[in-house]
Structure 1
Amino acid sequence: MITFDPRLVIGPMQVGALLSAGFYGCFVAQTFMYFKLFPKDPPTLKIIVTTVAAFQLGHFLCLIVTLWTMTVTSYTHPSVLNTLPIAADILILLSSFTCSTVQLFYSHRLWKLSGFPILFIISGTLCVVAQTVAFILVIHAFLMSSLEAFQNQQHVIILLASTSRAAADIFTTLGIAGTLKKRSSGTVSMATIADRLIAWVLETCLVASLATFSIAILLLTLQNSVWFGLYIINANLIANSLLAWFNRRYSPVRDEVVSSIQFAE
């Protein structure tokens, strides 16, 4: 009771939950816009969006249960917070599913745009490593007996999961931007389109990459649960980046869909 500090246990979770709820609202709005603006998109893209939406709905429900457990159920009983709630463990798993789905989509786009399978293999491998580590992390999270011991014992695993995610994001971001820039050599209109697409890549993938790197930095520098507050936001950032990638094909000025280079391949 004396050593318990709610600012370092409940605080990060509460702030992260509030921000995550806001980002989830943005994601729902973007999902609605996508299905309204792009009814003729290939079924594959619609399946990807639907899958991510299902993961994010589960993520949001787990977030509510976790917040309730940490702020209501555990009221006057801080010892309950010695371990993560089961809903938080499921939240970690759903977050990894969202991140992997989006990263694999970006990896596929990189392959189609560049024409080099090796780029997909490298990016996909990083994604598989991150997902595998996430599975291991979730198993240990379910079996944990102490949150402090879990953070100390699984320090390397959590760090590997964060860095591999960030590496996959950055590799894909730079790969797509470089490929589009290379393909822009030609007419002025083509260069304009490519510059716009590069801006989309930097605005979407790069934000998720920075968030993932921030988690790793917090984990290395602070020996508390602050990193988890940012972690629960990360999946919503990545999901929003995917819908931003899709929805920015629409030009409100001309009230039409702007076709990007081989987007639907």
Structure 2
Amino acid sequence: MPNGVSVASTFGALLVGGLVAVGLSGIVTVQSFVYIKLYPTDQIHTKFIVASVWLLDSCHTIFVCASIWDYLIAHFGDHRRIDIIPASLALTIAFTAILTFIVHAFFAHRIFKLSKRNYYIMIPVALLAGLRLIAACVTTAEMIILGNFPAFVTHFKWVFTIGLALSSAVDILIAIFLCYSLQNSRSASSSMDHVINLLILYTFENGALTWLNSRKQLQAERVRAEESNEHAPPASFLQRLKQTKSNQDLTDAGARRTILEINVVQTVDYAVEVDDDYDTISRLSPSIRDNKV
């Protein structure tokens, strides 16, 4: 193999990453159908978000399987193939980024309403989420254009790393701002304090999970750099944002981890007074982080 790279650290990592991605996608599907069954009267835009996250996560999984097929079946025994980036593998990053952006945007909107339309809280989250999406799209485009890992690592690895860092930053900000906004929604006579306590704990745990996912991916990239193993495609390419946002970041997405990590949808409803109206807050599990997405 090129430069003595082992099968276990290259094709093996791809296979394991693909299996994990498929398993997490199954969880996303189950959570999506559970949501549909439990919350049939939710607003149409919330249902649309859930459907979008599930669809994007499914497409992500299809491209993951296509990448595994390309490496292990279509080019079986061709060790030089490990340097090549199939278009299907590059597209997994784009789908994860779109899924994660949807979940981040959902949370930015919820933070905006909970904070009584505080733009100073909402804008940083939305801005960083947008930059993270741009970084992921650039990563995908350059992977397709260059077509091989050594060239990508040499010229554009920093873009991929920035994308991971931005994803971590957004997850942290979402957790902090949601906890802050929920804490400020308390009142001396409120009968919802126990629910708010549970939501704050849930938000903290959810945000911590997606942040740890992104942090581990950054650490994995650092290890690869120290070992100069530019031929080993990171398994995180196949698992990203199963953060939750599909399962959050629902790992992301809701996030998700997807979910989508995501990361796919876990909903906690409670009535909170916003601008003299009562608004139902539907919480997407940001996983997916992406993870998934």
TM-score if structure 1 supplies the norm length? Answer: 0.89
Matches within 5 A, 1:137-156: 137-156=139-158
Tell me how far 1:264 sits from its aligned partner.
4.2
Secondary structure of the equivalent of 1:7? coil
Are 1:38 and 2:45 an aligned pair?
Answer: no
Tell me how far 1:204 sits from its aligned partner.
2.3
Asked whether the equivalents of residues 186 and 193 of structure 2 are also in contact (C-alpha less than 8 Å), the reply is: yes
Q: Distance in 2 between matches of 1:173 and 1:64?
A: 32
Query: What corresponds to 2:280 in structure 1?
Result: 263
Query: In terms of mean alpha carbon deviation, does 33-42 or 78-87 score higher?
Result: 78-87
Matches within 5 A, 1:1-265: 1=1, 3-115=4-116, 116-187=118-189, 189-223=191-225, 224=229, 228-237=234-243, 238-241=245-248, 242=250, 243=254, 246-249=265-268, 258-259=269-270, 261=272, 262-264=279-281
Amino acid at match of 1:98: L
Unpaired runs of 5+ residues, structure 2, are 255-262, 273-278, 283-293
Asked whether the equivalents of residues 4 and 78 of structure 1 are also in contact (C-alpha less than 8 Å), the reply is: no
TM-score if structure 2 supplies the norm length? Answer: 0.81
Percent of paired sites with the same residue: 19
Q: Distance in 2 between matches of 1:209 and 1:101?
A: 17
CA separation of 1:74/1:159 partners in 2, compared to 1, >3 Å: closer, same or farther? same
Secondary structure of the equivalent of 2:247? helix
Unpaired runs of 5+ residues, structure 1, are 250-257
Asked whether the equivalents of residues 41 and 264 of structure 1 are also in contact (C-alpha less than 8 Å), the reply is: no
CA RMSD of aligned residues (A): 2.1
Higher helix residue share: 1
Tell me how far 1:154 sits from its aligned partner.
1.4
Aligned length: 257
Q: Which structure is higher in RCO with an 8 Å CA cutoff and minimum separation 6?
A: 1
**Any idea what the Cα deviations from partners look like across 1:145-185, whole Å, max 9, x if unmatched?**
43123123212111111001110111011110111122224
Tell me how far 1:106 sits from its aligned partner.
0.9
Q: Distance in 1 between matches of 2:84 and 2:264?
A: 37
Asked whether the equivalents of residues 74 and 81 of structure 1 are also in contact (C-alpha less than 8 Å), the reply is: no
